[in-house]
Amino acid sequence: MTAANDMNVLADRLTRAYEQNDTDAIAACYTTDARIWHNIDGLEQSVEEQLGATRWLNEQLKNLRYEIVSRHSFDGGYFQQYIVHGTLAHGGEPFSMPLCMSVTVRDGRIARLDEYLDSAHLKPLQTT
């Protein structure tokens, strides 16, 4: 297996876990000391904190699907551009949000994930 193939296998496993809302499988993709950072607040999160955000997202969206636009592996990680698609739980309208992330991998698991998105795309997820 090549390093690029290893990165694709891990990235695909993470994507499937998020689509299936399988928090155990998501956590298994990360190292125990992994940090997740989002540009919209500039804060680092633990995996457990990120799983809380994942649970919230799955309360707001149904039929969650990730469309991978591009993925580029590099020594020690990968960069991915993708779109999250779903249906708003409150109203049933279609939803999509473009994102990108830079991922650092250590020993076959994600040690750091830096995610970039436009916070304006989150407005439809805010329930009144």
Domain that holds residue 108: 3-125
Asked whether the whole model's pTM tops 0.85, one would answer: yes
**What's residue 1's pLDDT?**
46
Residue 4: phi and psi, rounded to 5, are -60, -40
Tokens of 57: 């997202």
Q: Quick one: pLDDT at residue 126?
A: 77
What whole-number distance in Å separates Cα of residue 81 and Cα of residue 43? 21
List the Cα angle 86/83/51 in 5-degree steps: 70
The tens place of each residue's pLDDT in the chain, 128 residues long, gives: 468 899 999 999 999 999 999 999 999 999 999 999 999 999 999 999 999 988 888 888 999 999 999 999 999 999 999 999 999 998 899 999 999 999 999 999 999 999 999 888 888 887 64
CATH number of the domain at 111, please: 3.10.450.50
What's the pLDDT score for residue 127? 63
Predicted confidence at residue 68, as pLDDT, reads 97
Q: How far apart are CA 66 and CA 74, in angstroms?
A: 22
User: How many domains does the chain contain in total?
Assistant: 1
Q: What is residue 85's three-state secondary structure?
A: strand
